[in-house]
Structure 1
């Protein structure tokens, strides 16, 4: 996970990277997202010079991408292991599990990680590593379900996946602004995107 020198110690560059990301994460949690956080604050809190910070990250979005990737890796690893170990299960059953775990993950990180995700790539959160992984996984499982005649032949899979991602993307609003429980959200997604599409 970390780059080490031949002496077994972290390089100065790697230590600076760790300090920067730890401080950015702390500030994002404190501010419930990157709004109100600037590069100067991150550099000061991490104890690095602005030149050092900008050599690695040219803008806040670059830091956001790395934070999101770092936070999501345990989820990706867990779900990839689950999918590998349960390939004999019906694809829509596996999809339900993936949606449930994805929603649980977003709840534990909400609202700060959702806000960080929305700040990436010029407000194109659906292109973040988090949603790219989920997109690819959902497309694959839906296609498998269609080939196995578990899914109606007239389902527009790419659009269905984008609609599902849009619903998941706003989960922090559903949880906090509307007061919906996670159980209610997951049941609704299951009813619309899984049970509602089965043959």
Structure 2
């Protein structure tokens, strides 16, 4: 297991340079870029006014002044549109844990970086959970098949492998990300009336418990 995790650590450390930031838009024609911005502006307005239920493709198309087929061709489905609305925030988040100041970014011990990542994710959920819920639940495996989850998982895997070389870093990275699913967060907030700081404290308990059992 130790040799396996050394290899995982090297792999995870290289992921940041191998995967582009999620949301990086390739060069496109000026008219296509204008349509993209109109669609995203309309989608953001409907989300602000009506919540996730307002993010209907027909309504977005009408407000943006484009055909609904244009949205489907451009974004694929409702989840793809939600993901596009999240792109800028995701890019900022990725830049923070890949290149930003410690403890979220490089330069702090692995345990501090793990905790900082999980707390920063809760902060994201506080603002973005309704959109993330659409992006993560449109299909049964939607959360796990986008580049953002792959990068988050590889980042945690690398930190876990650094901290506990004998641990199953692949499994534990999934285990630590599981409580950060948008549906879980929204249930905790609405169903249990949990404040984000209480959720962070609970995640700290999970993290400490996992690492203590592995030591």
> TM-score normalised to the size of structure 1?
0.79
Taking the aligned partners of 1:80 and 1:196, their CA distance within structure 2 comes to 24
Taking the aligned partners of 2:116 and 2:102, their CA distance within structure 1 comes to 13
Segments of structure 1 that go 5 or more residues without pairing to the other structure are 148-152
- Counterpart of 1:66 in structure 2 is 84
Matched, 1:175 2:193: no
CA contact (8 A) 1:174 1:180 kept: yes
- Counterpart of 1:104 in structure 2 is 123
Taking the aligned partners of 1:120 and 1:128, their CA distance within structure 2 comes to 12
State the shift of 1:3 in Å.
Answer: 7.5
Alignment match of 2:153 (pick from 135, 155, 161)? 135
Matched, 1:186 2:205: no
Q: 1:123 to 1:45 in 2, by over 3 A?
A: farther
Moved more, 117-126 or 96-105: 117-126
Structure with the larger RCO, 1 or 2 (CA within 8 Å, 6+ apart) = 2
- The 3-state SS of whatever aligns with 1:179 is coil
Q: By percentage of residues, which structure has more helix?
A: 2
CA contact (8 A) 2:102 2:108 kept: no
CA contact (8 A) 1:103 1:168 kept: yes
- Counterpart of 1:114 in structure 2 is 132
Matching of residues 9-48 of structure 1 within 5 Å: 11-33=30-52, 35=53, 37-48=55-66
CA contact (8 A) 1:125 1:131 kept: yes
State the shift of 1:4 in Å.
Answer: 7.9
- Counterpart of 1:125 in structure 2 is 143
- The 3-state SS of whatever aligns with 2:164 is helix
Q: 1:194 to 1:129 in 2, by over 3 A?
A: farther
State the shift of 1:13 in Å.
Answer: 0.9
State the shift of 1:41 in Å.
Answer: 0.8
Residue-by-residue CA offset, 1:86-110 (whole Å, 9 max, x unaligned): 5442201111111111111111223
Taking the aligned partners of 1:84 and 1:97, their CA distance within structure 2 comes to 9
Segments of structure 2 that go 5 or more residues without pairing to the other structure are 1-23
- Counterpart of 1:150 in structure 2 is none
